[in-house]
Chains A and B, each alone.
Chain A
Amino acid sequence: MGLMAALFLLTSCTDFIADVDHQKDWKTEEYGNILLHYRPEGFSSSPSPSAQEAKRIVQNQNVYYRGIQDSIRRSFHDKVLVYLYNQDEADALIGTDGGGHAIPKFNCYYYTYIANRKKLVDQYQVEDPVIGAHELAHVITHRLLGYPGTKMMSEGYAVWLDGIYGGYRIADIVRSYRHQQPEKILTPNQLLTETNRKESVYYPNAGVFLRFLVNAYGVESINMLFSRPSENLKDEFHYVTNTTWEEMSARYNSYIEAL
């Protein structure tokens, strides 16, 4: 009986693993292909975006929406749903209070609203973006190119298309690593296999690597590799670009040195 009671308690409820958030207290702002859900003013002790800021967010996201399609030379027409959480609730509800994550199958992503962000102008000439292009890039690339077979391709595309990591341009981060901490420069082989590296090291390296691949071999060729699993990627790369992985790695090394 004791065993059965323990079994019952252990297995009795999937809510221990995943419960449903039925909370519907959202304001919405829609423009073009973006539908933003954000918290009303005074929702929690952390600030919520103003209506004017919500307008600016959806306008900027539409700039990225077009820019991403231009960069990967594919067309996407579905609406993307953005859920923007206040910072004091984000960790419990979306698992982070410093960024977000995308669910491409549902054409959506979840993000944290941070009122005071680092001032910058990104590669799309957007000033001080509240949300960058990273999560939107995940949605669009996964839907158009398939489910990624490697973290290198998944994050590489998103960071390349965003151009920014942690408020800094990715090329500046990698340049800084090259000068001050060369052990943080990752080779193509390391990007493929050492996927547990610290995010602040892995992401900028993956973004710069993808930018190099696209510039060197053309985005159509690299798009074909997006969904390939790591076991086949080197051979597929050779097949698609007529260049061996080793030749490409040497070329990438020179690219990093000249960056």
Chain B
Amino acid sequence: MAERLHIFFVLILFLIPLAASAQEVSSESPDENCWSLSLEWLDYRSYSQQNNDFPMKAGYPVIRTQTTVLGLGYHIFGAQARHTIGLDFGFPASLDSDNGGGENHLLRDQMMSYYRMGLDYHLHWQLFRWEKLSMDHGMTSGLLYENRNLHYLSGSKERTEDVNFYLGPALQLQYQLHDQWILEGAFDARFYVPYVNYGTLDAINDEGMLSFTSEYHGFYYQTLFSLAVSRKMLNGSSIQLGVVKNDVVGFAGREPSFRVKEVVHFKLDRLLHFYLRYTL
């Protein structure tokens, strides 16, 4: 309980001064609220725990896939702050593996092996503006659902399914390249606290019988770096092309805790998103 309070206290400590300082700097009239649609190509790589000691080392074999993600967003522009609510859905994809030599010795090519959904909320305030450069800061929170089925070559399976809540600080940098062109960089840090996360793991043997089942609670840390270029259209809409480096690290035990005795599941994931977003 004390650990939980400590983490929330640290987050609140970081976020309150950001909010307080933001009240003073925003002076622009707000834009109109709008919708956005996005199409994304996602490269997913989930590495093995080559070194368990800190600092950890992620290594081969790696489980990987590529899939398409569709996104819908709604942007609310207030007098002081900007809110974005987003929903992303990743299409189910098959997984394979790389032993470090480009060969798959682990998994069967099976459809519906990996899919994900995310519900995200971003809150940004302007931190400063200087000539063509502006910086926003704020917070991000949301839910991530992941479903992964490892279909081993023997016919046995491991199915994991989890819903995880995150909260963390966010930064966004914008540079006006031209009247209609904007260059954007952003950074999100996301903390997934085990006490509000839930997952289940089922192991199924090669005869199709359930051989093990357990719930788990993940403690993950995720960082997202993004770089994008936007073009404003004459009708007020805009198109954005961008790339996001999305890294997740963490582990999950049967009981919610920051110190796990027996690890049931872990994420050492490196994702790369290439997206095209149209804001109406």
Contact = CB atoms under 8 A, between A and B. Distances in A.
Given A11-B169, A143-B156, A101 B106 contact: no
Given A79-B153, A110-B50, A19 B57 contact: yes
Contacts of B57: 18-21, 93-95
Contacts of B58: 18-21
Interface size of B as a range = 35 or more
B211 A7 contact: no
Contacts of B270: 20
A148 B264 CA distance: 9
Interface in B172-215: 187, 189, 201, 203, 205-206, 211-212, 214
Interface stretch (A44-52, A149-157, A168-176, A237-245): A149-157
A198 interface: no
B49 interface: yes
Given A18-B249, A105-B150, A143-B203, A3 B17 contact: yes
B60 A149 contact: no
A26 B100 contact: yes
Interface of A, helix, strand, loop or mixed by DSSP: mixed
A258 interface: no
A94 B57 CA distance: 7
Contacts of B74: none
A107 B59 contact: no
B156 A78 contact: yes
Contacts of A7: 14, 169, 189
Interface string B129-164: 000000001000000000000101111101000000
Contacts of A37: 99-101
B101 to A, nearest CB: 6
Given A13-B223, A78-B154, A146-B203, A28 B59 contact: no
Contacts of B127: 4
Best-surrounded residue of A21, A24, A151 (most CB of chain B within 10 A): A21
Best-surrounded residue of A19, A93, A145 (most CB of chain B within 10 A): A19
Nearest to B51: A95
Interface residues of A, number: 52
A216 B45 CA distance: 45
B262 interface: yes
A8 B187 contact: yes
Best-surrounded residue of A26, A105, A145 (most CB of chain B within 10 A): A105
Contact of A14 (B18, B101, B247, B265): B247
Nearest to A25: B100
B48 A103 contact: yes
B49 A107 contact: no
A12 interface: yes
B47 A20 contact: yes
Nearest to B128: A1
B249 to A, nearest CB: 5
Interface in B74-132: 97, 99-101, 105-106, 127
Nearest to B49: A103
Contacts of A77: 153-156, 206
A146 B154 contact: no
Contact of A105 (B51, B158, B168): B158
Nearest to A103: B48
B61 interface: yes
Contacts of B249: 14, 17-18
A126 interface: no
B212 to A, nearest CB: 3
A144 B211 contact: yes
Best-surrounded residue of B48, B152, B168, B214 (most CB of chain A within 10 A): B48
A18 B48 CA distance: 11
A147 B59 contact: no
A17 B59 contact: no
A143 B211 CA distance: 9
Interface string B36-70: 00000000000111111111111111010000000
B258 interface: no
Interface in A66-118: 75-79, 81, 83, 92-95, 101, 103, 105-108, 110
A2 to B, nearest CB: 10
B187 A17 contact: no
Given A7-B189, A14-B222, 16 more contacts: A4-B137, A11-B169, A15-B247, A18-B55, A18-B57, A20-B59, A21-B58, A37-B99, A78-B106, A83-B60, A93-B50, A93-B59, A105-B266, A110-B50, A144-B205, A149-B254
30 contacts: A3-B14, A4-B18, A11-B168, A14-B222, A17-B54, A17-B55, A18-B56, A19-B55, A20-B47, A21-B50, A77-B156, A78-B152, A78-B154, A79-B153, A81-B105, A83-B50, A93-B59, A94-B50, A95-B53, A105-B158, A105-B265, A106-B61, A106-B63, A107-B105, A107-B152, A110-B59, A143-B203, A149-B254, A227-B212, A229-B254
